[in-house]
Amino acid sequence: MNVLIVYASQFGSTRGIAEHLGEALRTRGVAVHVAAADAASQGNVEPFDAYVVGSAIHGARWLPAAREFLELRGKSMADRPVWLFSSGPIGERYVHLEQPEPKDIPGIRRRLNVRDHVVFAGAFDRKAADFSGLGWMERNVASRFLPEGDFRDWDAIAAWAATIASELSLGEVVAVRRK
The size of the chain, in residues, is 179
**In a domain? residue 179:** no
Answer whether 0.75 is exceeded by the pTM. yes
Question: How is residue 147 annotated by DSSP?
Answer: P
Q: How far apart are CA 5 and CA 173, in angstroms?
A: 16
Residue 87 lies in domain: 2-173
- Bridge partners (DSSP) of residue 27 are none
**In a domain? residue 72:** yes
Enumerate residues 6+ apart whose C-beta is below 8 A from 71. none
The CATH number for 67's domain is: 3.40.50.360
**pLDDT tens digit at each of 179 positions of the chain:** 899 999 999 889 999 999 999 999 999 999 999 999 999 999 999 999 999 999 999 889 999 999 999 999 999 999 999 999 999 888 888 888 888 899 999 999 999 999 999 999 999 887 776 767 778 887 677 777 777 889 999 999 999 999 999 999 876 554 444 34
pLDDT (0 to 100) of residue 91: 83
Rg (CA), the chain: 16
**In a domain? residue 9:** yes
pLDDT (0 to 100) of residue 147: 76
**In a domain? residue 8:** yes
Q: How many domains does the chain have?
A: 1
**φ and ψ of 88, to 5 deg:** -150, -70
Strand duo 149-150 + 123-124: pairing:
antiparallel
* Secondary structure class of 126 (helix, strand, coil): coil
**In a domain? residue 169:** yes
**In a domain? residue 178:** no
pLDDT (0 to 100) of residue 131: 67
